[in-house]
Structure 1
Amino acid sequence: MSGRRRLSTRFSALSAAWHGDNALRRRLAHIGHLLAGNYLAALLSLLAVTITARSLGSFNYGMLALTITYTRAIERFISFQSWQPVIKYGASLAGREDHPALRALLKFGLLLDIGACMTAWFVGIMLALLAGTLFGWDERTIHLVVVYCTVLLFNINGLPTATLRLAGRFRLVAYGQVLSATARILLCTLAALMGGDLILFALIWMATQILGALIFLFTGFRELRRQGVRRILRAPLRGITLRFPGLWSFAWSANLSLTLRASIYQLDVLLVGALAGPASAGLYHIAKQIGRLAQQAGVQVQAVVYPDVARLWARQAIAEFRRAIFQTEAMLASFGLFSFLLVFFWAEPLLRWTAGPEFVAAAPLLTIQLGAVMLALSGSAVNSALLAMGRQKQILSVVIVATLAFHSTALLLIPRIGPMGANIAHVVFGTIWLSCLSIMLRRALRELPGEASAAAAANPL
């Protein structure tokens, strides 16, 4: 009875904490909407991948996978991801009196994104034409990549990302992406019934990606109009670095960190294709696409947590700040472990039911991929906390070390053991990433003065 009584007491305490924590309930509701919309879009996209892979076969699908990965890699390397500094500095702008400063900050981010999109488009085409053969591409693949680079002109996502996340309009973010995913699967189904070739499927994926970007941008501007924030392009930028000290430093450091991380998540397929061939790249890409279903949880949770912890840090609400990070980390670690165990036992049936029997050989790749995803998930909230604290330079130093370790491992192992080498490299990166960021956050909290420092030392993460 005493054991039951203790269990009942603990359950009552957890229930009381849940009902008394409005911020947690609100955060979980936002995360629920994002995950529901994202997983619905991801499942639709996975169906589109299944239809495409079955229609094209492993070799042609591998060429399409390399094409899509190439453009995403260029976009990640060159895009400024301006939503990070906009959220960091915009979190303290709440009233109508702050609208002029917010307009200037949004214009700063928008111009960064437009310039980055144009640069990415130009670099993507030139690099494909001049260095495509280094990736083992033939003339047909190079032409396909050049056409597909058109999507790079439309990736203006910094402004809508920052606007919708700061406003807490996560339902719009969640379910808007379903429209382009629905269009993609319908068009892929039609192409499969028509016996479409590689070019047709590539055009479908390109068109639906552009559609999704335009819908997202329109949604962001519509939200700004609802808030009464208009004429962004007319906002003066003079003195913006005085109004927001460290803006350029934060933007460059955060962008370089994301660029380096993108090099492992985007170049891995290209490395497998160059060192192990298109067929191996196709197997690896299938495993990666399924693994992204779990990885997106971390992305969506960070989308909710980062604006929240940025506001908490701006108010110096240290206890709430720590609680938000701890709760999020516990949730993500649990979800990552559950996803890994699920794939560990069901990888082969999952691949057989989706991509088809031809891709069952990717089962070991998928299992190790989920192990790496579990590590990445566990570091998402810590990364958000350090960004909110203005520790982007320390994050950058960790990313540099982890990225070097990833590429060294990948280049060493892929020629010897094939695509599994890329998965092992992801595990190496995730281990360094999670352990170093966790140590940095503990130290940062202990450095806080006065009562905040004592509370952090008594309750370390």
Structure 2
Amino acid sequence: MAQQWREGSLGKVFANLGWLLAGKGVGAVLSLVYLALAARTLGPRGFGEFTLITGGAQAVAAFVSFQTWQIVVRYGLPHLKAGRSDAAARLASFCLMLDLGGALVGCLVAALAVWLLGDWLRWPPGLAWDGLGFTFVILLTVRSTAVGVLRLHDRFGVGASADAVTPITRFAGALAVVACGPSVPGFLLAWTAGEIFTAVAYWMAVARTVPGAMAWPNRRRLRLAVLENKGIWRFSWLTNLNTTLDAGAKQAVVLLVGLAAGPVGAGQYRLAYQLTQALARISDMASRAIFSELARAHAAGGREDFRRLILRAVGLASGAGTVIMVILLIAGRPILGLIGGEAYRGVYPLLVLLGLAAAFDLASAIFEPALIAMGRATQVIAARILACISLFAILALFLPLWGTRGAAEAVLASSAIALLLFGGASWRAIR
């Protein structure tokens, strides 16, 4: 038991990250294929309408998400370490209720947004309702708690298999849509199937690999979960606010570009943004892989091990970001031509700017979970607020002047500011 619950190590981070990359590696290749199918067959305007819908759905999901997987890992580790499996199960039930509550609120927000913004985004008649249905599916196929349960019990490999269902389903669906006649509703249907099948795969994985890890939520269990996990409401709201300020704000940029430059401009921005998400996914996976080990190291009280883990992870993240940025600079233009064709070759400057922003985010992805693991979520929120204010302030100045390129420059500036803030806060904390 002592060996199992020793402090986190960089080797364990690599093992966890390896499982995540195994699931995402296939997905990254397939995502380039189905992205190319959508961009080439729908054309600039159709692809722009498609990306506005998917970006809007992801923005709403980010605004109402509680990142319950972090709550499960953060508060579940002490319960498992002390042999309190029942308390860990009640914690998972509490997190599931948070997911469902946020999803219902998100459905109301989405319906209101479609009613207010549908005409401004210049969607064809009926497409707004297709987008609303897609958003409902994104919100209601909750799986963050299932992700947390698998990571709490060190089942990263199982989670990677479930995660791979999304790109495989989207790829198969995109091929079917192209064969039957490409259309925005058809691609939305393929994306919808991916979300549903992935959620089913995650919950089946939880039931099969860690039976008893979930307790059916009722009033008594939820009340006990709050009593057994001191500060859980505060931590939950802070993780929600952090996601809103980070992912929600960046997805909102796509909608603002659509309002300012129309669907074609939004499609160009989204294509560059989507390609740089290969780097952003690595940062997200690095954050998720290291968070569990940082939480273990901090719970074990090994200050030097904790500090050494952070410093080594930052060095590796910086090197990885540099390598991937060089790849984007060298191969970015041919990749754009291959995926989108001649209509998207002018998107290369956006790709470089957003790629550099993603490289900064990769380094930030080490500092943020370190601060959360140390219980300094308030500092994370303060840094996010400042970065978010800078994003929209610069966007308000640059977007009217330079359009989509101004939006990319605003995202780059915001990512650089966030890195400085997170790095400074982490350095002060680990000293």
Query: TM-score by structure 2 length?
Result: 0.94
Residues 192-201 or 343-352, more deviating: 192-201
* Most deviating of 384-393 and 308-317: 308-317
Q: Deviations over 1:62-109 (max 9, x none)?
A: 000000011111111012221222211112122583012111211110
Tell me how far apart the structure 1 counterparts of residues 125 and 162 of structure 2 sit (CA, whole Å): 37
What runs of 5+ residues in structure 2 fail to find an aligned partner? 1-6
Change in CA separation of 1:31 and 1:314 when aligned onto 2, cut-off 3 Å: same
Establish whether residue 45 from structure 1 lines up as the match of residue 31 from structure 2. Answer: yes
Aligned partner of 1:392 in structure 2 is 377
| Paired residue secondary structure (2:19) | helix
| Shift in CA distance, 229/197, structure 1 to aligned 2, threshold 3 Å | closer
Q: 1:142 aligns with which of 128, 139, 152?
A: 128
Distance in 2, matches of 1:196 and 1:239, equals: 51
Partner of 2:22: 36
Contact 2:169 2:190 in 1 (8 A): no
| The one of 340, 343, 362 aligned to 2:347 | 362
- Contact kept in structure 1, 2:93 and 2:215, CA below 8 Å: no
Partner of 1:433: 418
Q: Does 1:157 align with 2:133?
A: no
Instruction: Give the conservation status (yes or no) of the 8 Å contact 1:184–1:208.
Output: yes
Number of matched residues?
Answer: 424
Partners of 1:192 and 1:239 lie apart in 2 by 51
Q: Take 1:380 and 1:275, find their aligned partners in 2: how far apart are those partners?
A: 30
**Equivalent position of 2:228 in the other structure:** 243
SS in 1 for 2:242: helix
Counterpart amino acid of 2:102? Answer: A
Structure 1 residue 239 displacement after superposition: 4.1
Give the TM-score taking structure 1 as reference length: 0.88
Amino acid at match of 2:307: R
Indicate if the aligned counterparts of 1:302 and 1:381 stay in contact, CA closer than 8 A.
yes
Other-structure match for 2:392: 407
Cα distance change, pair 83–178 in 1 and its aligned pair in 2 (3 A): closer
The aligned residue for residue 286 of structure 1 is: 271
- The equivalent position to 1:66 in structure 2, one of 45, 52, 70, is 52
Matches within 5 A, 1:163-202: 163-202=149-188
Secondary structure in 1 matching 2:119:
helix
1:205-260: CA deviation from partner (whole Å, max 9, x where unpaired): 222222222222322333330xx435342562334333222111111112111111
The DSSP-based 3-state class of the residue aligned with 1:277 is: helix
**Matches of 2:82 and 2:186, distance apart in 1:** 49
2:241 aligns to what? 256
Greater mean alpha carbon deviation, residues 21-30 or residues 87-96? 21-30
Aligned to 1:312: 297
Which runs of structure 2 are paired with 1:199-214 in the superposition (5 Å)? Answer: 199-214=185-200
- Please state how far the C-alpha of 1:160 moved relative to its aligned partner: 1.0
**Deviation digits for residues 298-338 of structure 1, max 9, x if unmatched?**
11111111011111111211111112111211111111111
The AA in structure 1 aligned to 2:38 is T
Match of 1:90 in 2: 76
Structure 1 residues not aligned, in runs of 5+ = 1-20, 447-461
> Which letter does structure 1 place at the counterpart of 2:274?
Q
Q: Deviations over 1:157-177 (max 9, x none)?
A: 221111111122111222322
Alignment correspondent of 2:332: 347
Q: Give 1:153 shift.
A: 4.1
Q: Counterpart of 1:97 in structure 2: which amino acid? A: G
Range with bigger deviation, 139-148 or 341-350: 139-148
Which of 288, 303, 320 is equivalent to 1:335?
A: 320
**Contact persistence 1:154–1:210 (CA under 8 A):** no
Aligned to 1:4: none
What are the superposed Cα offsets for residues 387-406 of structure 1, whole Å, 9 maximum, x if unpaired? Answer: 01111111111111110110
User: Within 1, Cα distance between the matches of 2:226 and 2:298?
Assistant: 20
CA–CA distance in 1 between the matches of 2:343 and 2:12?
44
Distance 1:204 1:351 in 2: 23
Q: Partner of 1:233 in structure 2?
A: 217
Decide whether aligned partners of structure 1 residues 96 and 394 sit closer, same or farther in structure 2, where only a CA change above 3 A counts.
closer
Which residue in the other structure is 2:3 paired with? none
- Deviation, 1:136, is 4.1
SS of aligned partner of 1:74: helix
Instruction: Determine the C-alpha separation between the residues in 2 that align with 1:88 and 1:432.
Output: 27
| Equivalence for 1:266 | 251
Name 1:123's counterpart in structure 2.
Answer: 109
**Residue 278 of structure 2: SS of its match in structure 1?**
helix
1:6 paired residue number: none
RMSD: 1.9
In structure 2, what is the Cα distance between the partners aligned to 1:49 and 1:220? Answer: 30
Q: Hey, what's the Cα distance between the residues in 2 that align with 1:195 and 1:241? A: 52
What is the SS of the residue equivalent to 1:390? coil
- Identical columns (%): 28
Measure the CA separation in 2 of the matches of 1:175 and 1:362. 33
Q: Aligned in 2, Cα 1:197/1:291: closer, same or farther, shift over 3 Å? A: same
Distance 2:249 2:310 in 1: 26
Could you tell me how far 1:271 is from its partner in structure 2? 1.0
Q: CA deviation at 1:344?
A: 1.2
Letter in 2 for 1:420: R
Provide the C-alpha distance between the structure 1 equivalents of 2:181 and 2:427, rounded to a whole number of angstroms: 57
Distance 1:158 1:179 in 2: 15
Map of 1:221 onto structure 2: 207
Change (3 A) 1:331 1:282: same
Q: Is the 8 A contact 1:179 1:212 kept in 2?
A: yes
The C-alpha deviation readout for 1:377-396, integer Å capped at 9, x for no partner, is 00111101100111111111
Of residues 13, 32, 55 in structure 2, which corresponds to 1:27?
A: 13
